Amino acid sequence: MREILSKRFVSEKRNIRDHKRRLLTTKYELRRKLYKAFCKDSDLPSDMQDKLRYKLSKLPRNSSFPRVRNRCISTSRPRSIYEFFRISRIIFRGLASRGPLMGIKKSSW
């Protein structure tokens, strides 16, 4: 019982961490895009580009979009996620075979 509770706590913790990353990403998205665009602009002087690169490096790392990971909302599994349902293929298959997903049924060959 204790092991099940600890696994559930860890999965909830992962989902909370992922949610915080998503919030940071949306908060700093515009600023990050502007800094990147100005850094790539060759018309600006090099010292100005260096200052902008420095500002870009000072933004929080978790505000970068590649650090956001799609996770299953029930198991926090990071791979093979159906984005529309936000659940993993394993959970999806179980729910589809039991019938709670409306309009989804197992195909037979």
Would you say how long the chain is, in residues? 109
Phi-psi region of 102 (alpha: psi -120 to 50; beta: other; left: phi over 0): beta
Locate 76 and state its tokens: 């926090």
Please, where in the chain does CATH 1.10.287.1480 lie?
11-68
Per the confidence metrics, is the pTM higher than 0.75?
no
* Cα–Cα dist 108/96, whole Å: 13
pLDDT tens sequence across 7-60? 666 667 887 888 888 899 899 999 999 998 988 888 888 888 889 899 988 888
Give the architecture-level CATH label for domain 11-68.
Orthogonal Bundle (1.10)
Q: Give residues with Cβ within 8 angstroms of 99, minimum separation 6.
A: none
